[in-house]
A and B are shown apart, each in its own frame.
Chain A
């Protein structure tokens, strides 16, 4: 919690260079909130894709889609994070991640750049963060005048 206060640089020295790749994050936007997922977990980024709805599935599960012959289960990040559903007129982007040989797609409103977000400059979750977000976030990063919430893919996928 203390780290939340001194995110400006008084935290521990940066980790060795070898960890650089683990500090790379793909940014994405979910209902105007900037989020980041570790780039090493990302397998693919897709534009609009037709998604088959899965009846009786948990509400966060938007459906499944075909990624070059593999079936990918799509999770709507907005619903997963307790945000209002997307305007049906706008099309979602898919960030495809892998967990235990299964592919999952995280549906976001927009996908941004891959940015280095060094661990040293990361702040812990503020205690006031919504419990649902705290559950899936590994920390917060300041990017200019915006905050990036770093998402833990494992926990995002822990549904049901």
Chain B
């Protein structure tokens, strides 16, 4: 591409950005002569240059636009919104052609007759045809071009982004080398070097700041498209919206700017679509018809704060509560204890949208959770404030730059790590004399800090480092991720250092605990911890989406918030299979020679008895068995069944978010583990294949002795797991998916010996069910066992208060059986 063309492209791109805003201004203020002249001038320039460069297609479109604008300028025609729409459409077309020009170096082929005809008609004073002219053609979407400098800024030169990136990289290296030199100088007492080194250090810092400045861009660049967007939005939704922007000149790193552009656009769109009421509603509530969307940006500390506010209807608290309950994100009891702020934060959960209907504008499945995740990825936070009837405000706080950050160097389990200081709230020495004390609630570490209990995670434990170190003392890095404050316990804290964040090698990208790595002053490589990753991995950040699953959950999928140990194996086809580890009694390698056949069924003598073998692969036969055939043993008491598989792969901790799409006999569905689709085995189905008598009631000697158990569990997945486990133990199990149905059974006069209930269920949760049962009626004195993923001390207490006899963690099959035995043998209240 020759220089002339390149200059034309840059200039035109700048002009087009200015045109959008100017046209919207003109529409609001049709008599604004100055704006009209500006618009005319830009279009005229484009046209003129096109002619000069021989770009005939562009010239024709620009010429038609200029015609209409000329009539307006000469005041022979009046500026109308319809006319503005036409001009905007022609600008879009110009943009499209420019984009093609940029990509290929020549004008793309295409037909602009419709646009030109519409413009000419309007210029002739005819009513413009309906917005057809504005229909996008099937040409490639345009690529946005950044203006390299603010228009009208004095004395600027254009520098390509690559040059700046290159400079930044060199400065990063220089900073590292400087750090290395300083480190060396500290250990050597050589006065001769000290002074020039000091000078070098200062210059490096200045240079770093200078180069950083070149990467800074006013946030207004990310806002340039918003006036147009809001205008179109208003037209589309029949709302009157005014967009107010403050602090557009506030600068931030272009890398950060790029990353927040889309989330910002999304949020402004949301404010206009969901936040603002339509004019009639606004009038009815005594507001001016025109809704306001306000953007405000300013610097605060090393951060930039961006506020996106509207004066609309505010977030409906009651609706959020109802929705959170319906989606099983919380319980009535939990809601009762929540502050308004906490309730509002539900909107950041994956899959949460209160919009009653999905409009063309928003509600396309990209929710606030994605916005939040994007912000957190760059070390930012997002807060929401809302007042019903008054409006909503989102406050985003993001770091100014990502390339060079100040970090705390810490040691844990004999290894050093860098913790970016941005998330660090304070540093506490814990466990010493007079210092705040670390305490333990069951397995959870907490720090009592100024009347507050802070959850603490052990870095050594989280990273599976040498955990022989004592955990009752050390340094606690108090960290904030979003609204969550938690502590990370480390053994030692060294120093702070300016570090250059480098991405980790692709083969390590799946380790989400690190945001990158860097080289320290002493030349050693060090991993940079990602507080967000740590919060997610340790379950501190309650809103975190399951890993590898930032998208909304598939509808109809069964989801559980807690992680479960899954045994991964291969059998038959290449698709990995998974089964909850808690259900598997043992893993065995059975020698091929020991596999026998009886009545056409493979068997093996196992612990003095015959154990039926059920192959997961229907093609399997004993003579195909491996030398040492891997078998998953499911057992109960003295009976056992062996599931024949090809290969045991791994044990992983995963969220059980099962997509029922892959459901088929023997499999509950699929989920993604380590980026591979994995089928979840329906254990009960396979147990049934092991022989009809597996569930037989003949074994009166078994623990259950046909005692009647009512299981209340909303997740089909857990029902499928618990029912076979209990049936296998000889209990007669009735399972219902709702507390409501359980109560129906009570009214129908059915009798049970014991009730096992899940805690988190929609509508009536386990606690409410327990309270209802204890209030009176035939089941008043039945033992009640709570089955839950959350067994924190507070939950246990709440459960006991509600009337539960015992509290058992989900999947802990043995504990559940033990609890059943115990509850059934001890009369209640004894």
Is A66's CB under 8 angstroms from B525's CB?
A: yes
Set of chain A residues within 8 Å of B526, measured between Cβ atoms: 52
Stretch in A6-14, A31-39, A54-62, A88-96 with 4+ CB within 8 Å of B: A54-62
Is B507's CB under 8 angstroms from A73's CB?
A: yes
Set of chain A residues within 8 Å of B510, measured between Cβ atoms: 160
Instruction: Pick the contact of B506: A52, A56, A63, A102 (CB < 8 A).
Output: A102
A64 and B519 CA atoms in complex are apart in Å by: 10
Q: B235 on the interface (CB 8 Å rule)? A: no
Q: B373 on the interface (CB 8 Å rule)? A: no
* B-side interface size class: 20 to 34
Given contacts A52-B524, A52-B527, A56-B464, contact A69 B507 (CB under 8 A): no
Q: A128 on the interface (CB 8 Å rule)? A: no
Q: Closest approach, in angstroms, between the C-beta of A48 and any C-beta of chain B?
A: 14
Q: Closest approach, in angstroms, between the C-beta of A128 and any C-beta of chain B?
A: 16
- Nearest to A73 among chain B residues (CB) is B505
- Nearest to B177 among chain A residues (CB) is A69
The 0/1 profile, CB within 8 Å of A marked 1, for residues 456-498 of chain B is 0000000111000000000000000000000000000000000
Q: B517 on the interface (CB 8 Å rule)? A: yes
A100 and B505 CA atoms in complex are apart in Å by: 10
A104 and B504 CA atoms in complex are apart in Å by: 12
A159 and B464 CA atoms in complex are apart in Å by: 20
- Nearest to A58 among chain B residues (CB) is B507
Q: B284 on the interface (CB 8 Å rule)? A: no
Query: What is the predominant secondary structure among interface residues of chain A facing chain B?
Result: loop
CB within 8 Å of B: which A106-160 residues: 157, 159-160
Given contacts A64-B517, A66-B519, A104-B505, contact A56 B511 (CB under 8 A): yes
Given contacts A52-B415, A55-B513, A56-B463, contact A61 B508 (CB under 8 A): yes
Q: A65 on the interface (CB 8 Å rule)? A: yes
Q: A53 on the interface (CB 8 Å rule)? A: yes
Q: B173 on the interface (CB 8 Å rule)? A: yes
The 0/1 profile, CB within 8 Å of A marked 1, for residues 291-305 of chain B is 000000000000000
- Nearest to A51 among chain B residues (CB) is B525
Set of chain B residues within 8 Å of A55, measured between Cβ atoms: 415, 463-465, 511, 513, 527
A63 and B505 CA atoms in complex are apart in Å by: 11
Q: A71 on the interface (CB 8 Å rule)? A: yes
CB within 8 Å of A: which B407-449 residues: 415-416
CB within 8 Å of B: which A78-106 residues: 100, 102, 104
Q: Closest approach, in angstroms, between the C-beta of B482 and any C-beta of chain A?
A: 23
Set of chain A residues within 8 Å of B465, measured between Cβ atoms: 55
Q: A2 on the interface (CB 8 Å rule)? A: no
Q: B176 on the interface (CB 8 Å rule)? A: yes
Q: Closest approach, in angstroms, between the C-beta of B708 and any C-beta of chain A?
A: 47
Q: Closest approach, in angstroms, between the C-beta of A103 and any C-beta of chain B?
A: 8
A159 and B513 CA atoms in complex are apart in Å by: 19
Is A71's CB under 8 angstroms from B415's CB?
A: no
Set of chain B residues within 8 Å of A61, measured between Cβ atoms: 507-508
Q: B554 on the interface (CB 8 Å rule)? A: no
Q: B502 on the interface (CB 8 Å rule)? A: yes
Q: B523 on the interface (CB 8 Å rule)? A: yes
Set of chain A residues within 8 Å of B416, measured between Cβ atoms: 52
Is A71's CB under 8 angstroms from B525's CB?
A: yes
Set of chain B residues within 8 Å of A54, measured between Cβ atoms: 508, 511, 514, 527
A58 and B505 CA atoms in complex are apart in Å by: 12
The 0/1 profile, CB within 8 Å of A marked 1, for residues 168-185 of chain B is 000001001100000000
- Nearest to A160 among chain B residues (CB) is B507
Is A71's CB under 8 angstroms from B502's CB?
A: yes
Set of chain B residues within 8 Å of A52, measured between Cβ atoms: 415-416, 524-527
Set of chain A residues within 8 Å of B524, measured between Cβ atoms: 50, 52, 66
Instruction: Pick the contact of B508: A50, A69, A73 (CB < 8 A).
Output: A73
Set of chain A residues within 8 Å of B173, measured between Cβ atoms: 69
Choose among A57, A66, A73, A100 the residue with the greatest number of B CB atoms under 10 Å from its CB.
A66
A65 and B523 CA atoms in complex are apart in Å by: 9
- Nearest to B460 among chain A residues (CB) is A55
Is A100's CB under 8 angstroms from B523's CB?
A: no
A71 and B172 CA atoms in complex are apart in Å by: 14
- Nearest to B508 among chain A residues (CB) is A57
Choose among B504, B505, B511, B527 the residue with the greatest number of A CB atoms under 10 Å from its CB.
B505
Set of chain B residues within 8 Å of A64, measured between Cβ atoms: 505, 517, 525, 527
- Nearest to A64 among chain B residues (CB) is B525
Set of chain B residues within 8 Å of A65, measured between Cβ atoms: 525
- Nearest to B510 among chain A residues (CB) is A160
A102 and B416 CA atoms in complex are apart in Å by: 23
A57 and B504 CA atoms in complex are apart in Å by: 11
- Nearest to B509 among chain A residues (CB) is A160
Given contacts A52-B415, A52-B524, A56-B511, contact A102 B463 (CB under 8 A): no
A100 and B503 CA atoms in complex are apart in Å by: 14
A67 and B568 CA atoms in complex are apart in Å by: 38
Set of chain A residues within 8 Å of B415, measured between Cβ atoms: 52-53, 55
A50 and B513 CA atoms in complex are apart in Å by: 23
Set of chain A residues within 8 Å of B517, measured between Cβ atoms: 64, 71
Choose among B177, B463, B508, B523 the residue with the greatest number of A CB atoms under 10 Å from its CB.
B508
CB within 8 Å of A: which B645-666 residues: none
Q: Closest approach, in angstroms, between the C-beta of A5 and any C-beta of chain B?
A: 28
Q: Closest approach, in angstroms, between the C-beta of B550 and any C-beta of chain A?
A: 20
Set of chain A residues within 8 Å of B177, measured between Cβ atoms: 69
Q: Closest approach, in angstroms, between the C-beta of B226 and any C-beta of chain A?
A: 37
Is B513's CB under 8 angstroms from A56's CB?
A: yes
Set of chain B residues within 8 Å of A157, measured between Cβ atoms: 507
Set of chain A residues within 8 Å of B513, measured between Cβ atoms: 55-56
9 intermolecular pairs with C-beta atoms under 8 Å apart: A54-B514, A55-B465, A69-B176, A69-B177, A71-B519, A73-B504, A73-B508, A102-B505, A160-B507
Query: Which residues of B are at the interface with A, using a C-beta cutoff of 8 A?
Result: 173, 176-177, 415-416, 463-465, 502, 504-508, 510-511, 513-514, 517-519, 523-527
Given contacts A55-B463, A69-B173, 8 further A-B contacts (CB under 8 A): A54-B508, A56-B513, A61-B507, A66-B525, A69-B177, A71-B517, A100-B506, A159-B507
The 6 closest A-B pairs by CB, nearest first: A55-B463, A73-B505, A52-B525, A64-B525, A56-B511, A159-B507
Query: Which residues of A are at the interface with B, using a C-beta cutoff of 8 A?
Result: 50, 52-58, 61, 63-66, 69, 71, 73, 100, 102, 104, 157, 159-160
